[in-house]
């Protein structure tokens, strides 16, 4: 008789084991009707985890999972490259090769072949004058021209005067290409070297060459002069500029 009365009550017990236990049903009673009590307890625990009671609410929107919805690391989570959230690799952002050697602020911006053209002066008459400035080692081109080709003409000459900052030293070298066309440049044989005066930040070099006379007096004695300003010591840059002055028909 006891079993007959118990059977209707066991059907809801398959769903809520905890409440059935409170009403007096035993595991032996459940076993007789084909219910596995231990399995039912395990299912009940699983259901509890699904409603947010055991994982800190990860299923209901309050997740403690460090991953973002797109699979990336969340706030505070370490990235594969070691960078924190919101940071950028500085070397990639700037586009600068971190392993590249530093740029020399005193280095040449050009070569002898691409030297900056400063202008031209007459080498045998007049008082032509040129002036140029810079702040690094550099190559410049000066054209010294022949104004008079008469039999009584004078030799050609020019003076190059370099003034630099007292704490930044530059040397001065000049290279004459000979009596030649405007496209010829001498980049290897030094014709004149600047000498320093008692004022150590002033260096002067002079050039002179013979004017062709006689039956060959009509020959053009123009010449290209390459000027090399070579850094020796001290810092370069703004406030440390040098000044080059070129005087034609002066030595």
**What's the order of all strands across the beta sheet hosting 156-163?**
129-134, 242-248, 156-163, 202-209, 195-196
Lowest mean pLDDT among 4-13, 111-120, 126-135: 4-13
| pLDDT-above-90 percentage for the chain | 45
- Confidence band for 19, pLDDT divided at 50, 70 and 90: very low
Q: Are 244 and 228 in contact (CB under 8 A)?
A: no
CB 110 within 8 A of CB 138: yes
Q: Give pLDDT, residue 86.
A: 47
Q: Does the structure show a pLDDT above 70 at 143? A: yes
Structure letter (DSSP) for residue 73? B
Cα–Cα distances in Å, from 153 out to 62, 173, 191?
100, 28, 23
**Rounded distance between C-alpha atoms, residue 69 and residue 84, angstroms:** 18
Q: Report yes or no: 211 and 153 within 8 Å, Cβ to Cβ.
A: yes
| Tens digit of each residue's pLDDT (9 = 90 or more) over 53-100 | 444 444 444 444 444 445 444 454 555 454 444 444 544 455 556 677
Quick one: pLDDT at residue 217?
56
Of 239, 159, 238, 167, give the one whose Cα is nearest residue 203. 159
Most confident of 10-14, 22-26, 121-125: 121-125
Give me the pLDDT at residue 12, please. Answer: 46
pLDDT tens per residue across span 195-204 = 987 778 999 9
- pLDDT beyond 90 at 33: no
Question: Structural domain boundaries of the chain?
Answer: 1-54, 116-248
DSSP 8-state assignment for residue 189: S
Q: What is the CATH number of domain 116-248?
A: 2.60.120
The Cα 10–Cα 221 span in angstroms is: 125
φ, ψ for residue 141 (rounded to 5)? -120, 130
Q: Which tens digits make up the pLDDT trace of 185-240?
A: 999 999 999 998 777 899 999 999 988 765 555 677 899 999 999 999 999 999 99
- What pLDDT is stored for residue 31 in this prediction? 52
Phi-psi region of 95 (alpha: psi -120 to 50; beta: other; left: phi over 0): left
Taking the C-alpha atoms of residue 91 and residue 82, their distance in angstroms, rounded to an integer, is 14
């Amino acid at each position: 008789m006891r079993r007959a009365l118990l059977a209707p009550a066991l059907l809801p017990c398959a769903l809520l084991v905890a409440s059935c236990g409170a009403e007096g049903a035993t595991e032996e009673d459940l076993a007789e009707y084909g219910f596995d009590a231990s399995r039912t307890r395990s299912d009940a625990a699983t259901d509890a985890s699904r409603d947010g009671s055991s994982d800190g609410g990860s299923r209901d929107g309050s997740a403690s999972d460090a991953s973002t919805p797109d699979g990336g690391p969340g706030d505070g989570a370490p990235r594969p490259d070691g960078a924190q959230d919101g940071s950028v690799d500085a070397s990639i952002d700037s586009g600068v090769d971190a392993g590249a050697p530093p740029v020399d602020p005193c280095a040449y911006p050009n070569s002898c072949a691409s030297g900056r053209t400063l202008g031209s002066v007459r080498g045998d008459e007049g008082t032509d004058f040129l002036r140029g400035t810079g702040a690094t080692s550099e190559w410049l081109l000066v054209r010294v021209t022949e104004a008079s080709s008469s039999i009584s003409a004078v030799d050609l000459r020019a003076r190059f005067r370099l003034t630099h900052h007292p704490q930044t030293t530059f040397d001065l070298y000049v290279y004459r290409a000979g009596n030649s066309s405007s496209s010829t440049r001498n980049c290897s044989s030094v014709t004149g070297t600047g000498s320093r005066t008692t004022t150590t930040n002033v260096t002067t070099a002079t050039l002179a060459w013979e004017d062709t006379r006689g039956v060959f007096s009509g020959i053009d004695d123009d010449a290209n002069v390459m000027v090399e300003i070579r850094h020796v010591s001290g810092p370069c840059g703004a406030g440390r500029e040098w000044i080059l002055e070129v005087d034609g028909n002066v030595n």
